[in-house]
């Protein structure tokens, strides 16, 4: 056996490190109250210990679930460390889910405590009677803001609950495989499924997130996670920030382009992370105002395919490097990130750009393969596509649910995505397997079609779906939203595809709509798009059973 010290990899270690080695590192939060709050890692450490004591005071056993309904902010950060560090499990609930689904999730998770931002007061008032296991409700505010007569039993303010506690607390030591936090998938693929992370998986993921070919986080960065702390732990940024000592900037609930831009500029943000729909709002704001980014250097974009037009706008117009990333709740979430290899630096710009559109290379810790329907591995030639399978120490092993079926196939997790892998190991998502369009026995990638549509200067957002066709089985059509003040005709948009796709891959038609339904994490909900009245009407008129 090796003779090295056997410290378990626990989340509390990150906080101890942050306090001792970059205790004066800044955390800035735009609060729900409206102002900017500033403090330092040493304050996070002190107040997280107070949170741990407060949880002890409630008599909560180890592994009890503590839920949050909260935006990105310093109190949420304290819960990240105080709850998990003390051996309880942090359950970050996505407040954009339907209230019934929130109640279902809280019951399923056996949540004992719910801490929520006051912007979700009416939501909590609506669901608390259905949440059978929650015994304590905490509003993330001080007593001055605590609503009177909320109707929520025993509601207390976070500040009065925590501030009275002693900060004299020693983090417990336990098995690094113990549960640390819990996330439910956003349910775009059916009933939400629960993924239970461990301390070990979270720490390994934090190391992975900080690597140069990943998010390259360092003590020189000021990091703005626009991706919510309820969306797969803000992609691990809170943990990686404690590990590296970067400055953290939290946007609260102000996620519109103007607010995000102002915060980036005033806080000297160098790195930001978010889904494409949020970045679209930011780019629109910047374009309208003729603005530029004075400090932003890199942004990681993932959660849905990043349109090439967005990568180009950031890089060409603003000199901001886009790192396209792929992951899922089941992969903690980082799976692949797209950074160039040394040999690609010599490639002409357009070929580099082609590479950057892909979802990227596997991080150490995640292995992937593509397989055919019989499970046989397919070649890495950049053309052959198949079902994407992944494995690794921060990939789900089993869902948190009594009697849930084993999700693994020979130790690999089938992602439900269809992808190609090129000889250099760059993975590219073709589609979600249920969104792939099968036309005349050939597969058409809905993502390719959406990317082209979104490169049209008048298009704000576009979804490509397959509609039934008597001869070809399915044919692609585009459902598009135009930018405010722009007009665009069906024929003009269809002409825009010419020369960019093979003839049989071209969409048959375009339907313009006012808005495309987005899910709880800002992704287009294709299932809902298929049910839009305009789409059903189109299918009726075209005689294609939807
Ligand atoms: P849900 O599975 O409930 O939608 P997740 O947030 O876990 O919630 O979503 C993961 C899925 O999002 C992936 O399986 C993939 O289909 C999609 N996805 C994530 N990142 C990308 C990306 N960069 N390009 C294309 N699809 C992506």
Q: pLDDT tens digits, the chain, 546 residues: what are they?
A: 999 999 999 999 999 999 999 999 999 999 988 899 999 999 999 999 999 999 999 999 999 999 999 999 999 999 999 999 999 999 999 998 889 889 999 999 999 999 999 999 999 999 999 999 999 999 999 999 999 999 999 999 999 999 889 999 999 999 999 999 999 986 555 568 999 999 999 999 999 999 999 999 999 999 999 999 999 999 999 999 999 999 999 999 999 999 999 999 999 999 999 999 889 999 999 999 999 999 999 999 999 999 999 999 999 999 999 999 999 999 999 999 999 999 999 999 999 999 999 999 999 999 999 999 999 999 999 999 999 999 999 999 999 987 788 999 999 999 999 999 999 999 999 988 888 898 887 889 899 999 999 999 999 999 999 999 888 889 999 999 999 899 999 999 999 999 998 888 999 999 999 999 998 778 888 889 999 999 999 988 887 655
185 catalytically annotated: yes
Helices (H), 117-228: 121-127, 158-163, 199-210
Closest to 194 measured CA to CA, from 127, 111, 76, 112: 111
For a ligand 1 pocket test, name from 303, 389, 427, 464 the mutation site with the most ligand atoms within 8 angstroms of its C-beta. Answer: 303
Q: CB under 8 Å to 286, separation ≥6 — which residues?
A: 257, 261, 292, 293, 318
pLDDT of residue 189: 54
Antiparallel, parallel or unpaired: β 156-157 and 136-139: parallel
Q: Which of 68, 92, 185, 336 is catalytic?
A: 185
Both tokens of 466, joined, read 């397959």
Q: Per residue in 337-349, is it b (16+ CB within 10 Å) or e — as a string?
A: bbbbeeeeeeeee
Is the CB–ligand 1 distance for residue 446 below 6 Å? no
Antiparallel, parallel or unpaired: β 179-184 and 136-139: unpaired
Ligand 1 midpoint to CA 408 (Å)? 18
Task: Check: CB of residue 217 under 8 Å from CB of residue 231.
Answer: no
Nearest atom in ligand 1 to the alpha carbon of residue 328 is 7
Task: Check: CB of residue 203 under 8 Å from CB of residue 209.
Answer: no
Is the CB–ligand 1 distance for residue 445 below 6 Å? no
The CATH number of the structural domain formed by 11-254 is 3.40.50.12780
Written as one string, the DSSP assignment of 429-443 is EEEETTT-EEETTEE
Angle between helices 74-85 and 41-57 (to 10 degrees): 60
pLDDT 10s digits, 314-370: 999 999 999 999 999 999 999 999 999 999 999 999 999 999 999 999 999 999 999
Angle at 158 between CA 150 and CA 95, to 5 degrees: 65
Is the CB–ligand 1 distance for residue 428 below 6 Å? no
Angle at 444 between CA 443 and CA 449, to 5 degrees: 170
CA distance 140 to 159: 7
CB-facing half-sphere around the CA of 466: CA atoms within 13 A? 24
Ligand 1 midpoint to CA 431 (Å)? 10
pLDDT of residue 375: 95
Is 540 buried (19+), middle (13-18) or exposed (0-12) by CB count in 10 A? exposed
pLDDT of residue 277: 87
Ligand 1, atom 26, lies closest to the CA of 304
Ligand 1, atom 12, lies closest to the CA of 303
> What's the topology of domain 364-432?
Luciferase; domain 3 (2.30.38)
Domain edges within the chain = 11-254, 364-432, 436-542
Q: Tell me the residue length of the chain.
A: 546
Both tokens of 368, joined, read 């992937």
CA distance 444 to 408: 27
358 catalytically annotated: no
> Considering the entire predicted model, what is its pTM?
0.91
Nearest atom in ligand 1 to the alpha carbon of residue 186 is 3
Is the CB–ligand 1 distance for residue 302 below 6 Å? yes
Is the CB–ligand 1 distance for residue 324 below 6 Å? yes
Is the CB–ligand 1 distance for residue 326 below 6 Å? yes
Nearest atom in ligand 1 to the alpha carbon of residue 416 is 14
Q: Which of 132, 341, 383, 438 is catalytic?
A: 438
pLDDT of residue 472: 86
Is the CB–ligand 1 distance for residue 311 below 6 Å? no
pLDDT of residue 365: 92
Q: CB under 8 Å to 196, separation ≥6 — which residues?
A: 89, 179, 181, 182, 400
Angle between helices 11-21 and 41-57 (to 10 degrees): 140
Ligand 1 midpoint to CA 328 (Å)? 5
Written as one string, the DSSP assignment of 47-60 is HHHHHHHHHHHTTP
pLDDT of residue 441: 79
Ligand 1, atom 17, lies closest to the CA of 304
492 catalytically annotated: no
Radius of gyration of the chain (CA): 24
Ligand 1, atom 4, lies closest to the CA of 188
Antiparallel, parallel or unpaired: β 321-327 and 298-302: parallel
pLDDT of residue 187: 58
Helix, coil or strand: residue 181: strand
Is the CB–ligand 1 distance for residue 96 below 6 Å? no
Dihedral sign for Cα 344, 348, 353, 354, please: negative
pLDDT of residue 190: 59
Closest to 153 measured CA to CA, from 130, 128, 133, 131: 128
Dihedral sign for Cα 518, 521, 523, 525, please: negative
Antiparallel, parallel or unpaired: β 194-198 and 179-184: antiparallel
Ligand 1, atom 6, lies closest to the CA of 328
Is the CB–ligand 1 distance for residue 430 below 6 Å? no
The CATH number of the structural domain formed by 436-542 is 3.30.300.30
Is the CB–ligand 1 distance for residue 304 below 6 Å? yes
Is the CB–ligand 1 distance for residue 277 below 6 Å? no
For a ligand 1 pocket test, name from 417, 420, 517 the mutation site with the most ligand atoms within 8 angstroms of its C-beta. Answer: 417
pLDDT of residue 248: 98
List of E strands, 211-289: 222-225, 247-250, 271-274
List of E strands, 306-435: 321-327, 334-337, 361-362, 367-371, 386-391, 413-421, 427-432
Helix (H) or strand (E) holding 133: none
Same fold, 11-254 and 364-432: no
């Amino acid at each position: 056996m090796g003779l090295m010290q056997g410290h378990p990899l626990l989340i509390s270690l990150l906080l101890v490190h942050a306090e001792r080695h970059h205790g004066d590192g800044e955390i800035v939060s735009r609060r729900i109250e409206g102002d900017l709050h500033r403090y330092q890692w040493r304050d996070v450490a002190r107040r997280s210990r107070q949170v741990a004591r407060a949880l002890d005071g409630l008599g909560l056993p180890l592994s009890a679930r503590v839920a949050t309904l909260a935006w990105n902010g310093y109190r949420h950060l304290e819960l990240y460390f105080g709850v998990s560090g003390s051996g309880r499990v942090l359950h970050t609930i996505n407040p954009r889910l339907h209230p019934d689904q929130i109640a279902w999730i809280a019951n399923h998770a056996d949540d004992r405590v719910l801490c929520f931002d006051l912007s979700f007061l009416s939501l909590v008032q609506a669901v608390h009677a259905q949440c059978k296991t929650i015994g304590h409700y905490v509003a993330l505010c001080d007593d001055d803001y605590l609503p009177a007569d909320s109707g929520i039993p025993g509601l207390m303010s976070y500040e009065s609950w925590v501030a009275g506690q002693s900060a004299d607390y020693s983090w417990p030591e336990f098995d690094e495989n113990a549960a640390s936090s819990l996330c439910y998938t956003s349910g775009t693929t059916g009933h939400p499924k629960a993924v239970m992370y461990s301390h070990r998986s979270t720490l390994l993921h934090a190391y992975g997130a900080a690597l140069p070919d990943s998010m390259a986080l360092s003590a020189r960065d000021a990091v703005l996670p626009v991706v919510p702390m309820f969306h797969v732990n803000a992609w691990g940024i809170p943990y990686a920030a404690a590990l590296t000592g970067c400055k953290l900037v939290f946007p609260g609930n102000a996620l519109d382009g103007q607010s995000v831009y102002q915060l980036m500029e005033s806080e000297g943000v160098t790195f930001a992370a978010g889904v494409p729909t949020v970045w679209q709002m930011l780019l629109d704001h910047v374009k309208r105002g003729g603005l530029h980014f004075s400090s932003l250097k890199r942004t990681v974009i993932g959660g849905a395919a990043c349109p090439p037009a967005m990568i180009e706008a950031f890089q060409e117009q603003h000199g901001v490097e886009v790192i396209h990333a792929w992951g899922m709740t089941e992969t903690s979430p980082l799976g692949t990130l797209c950074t160039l290899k040394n040999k690609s630096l010599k490639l002409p710009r357009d070929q580099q750009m082609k590479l950057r559109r892909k979802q990227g290379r596997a991080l150490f810790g995640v292995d992937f393969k593509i397989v055919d329907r019989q499970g046989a591995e397919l070649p890495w030639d950049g053309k052959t596509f198949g079902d994407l399978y992944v494995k690794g120490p921060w990939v789900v092993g089993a869902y948190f649910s009594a009697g849930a079926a084993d999700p693994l196939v020979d130790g690999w997790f089938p992602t439900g995505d269809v992808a190609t892998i090129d000889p250099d190991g760059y993975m590219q998502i073709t589609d979600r397997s249920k969104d792939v369009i099968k036309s005349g026995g050939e597969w058409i990638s809905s993502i390719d079609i959406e990317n082209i549509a979104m490169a049209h200067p008048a298009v704000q957002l576009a979804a490509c779906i397959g509609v039934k066709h008597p001869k070809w089985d399915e044919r692609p059509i585009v459902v598009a939203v135009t930018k405010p003040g722009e007009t665009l005709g069906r024929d003009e948009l269809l002409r825009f595809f010419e020369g960019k796709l093979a003839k049989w891959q071209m969409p048959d038609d375009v339907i313009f709509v006012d808005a495309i339904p987005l899910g709880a994490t800002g992704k287009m909900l294709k299932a809902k798009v298929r049910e839009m009245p305009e789409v059903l009407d189109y299918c009726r008129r075209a005689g294609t059973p939807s």
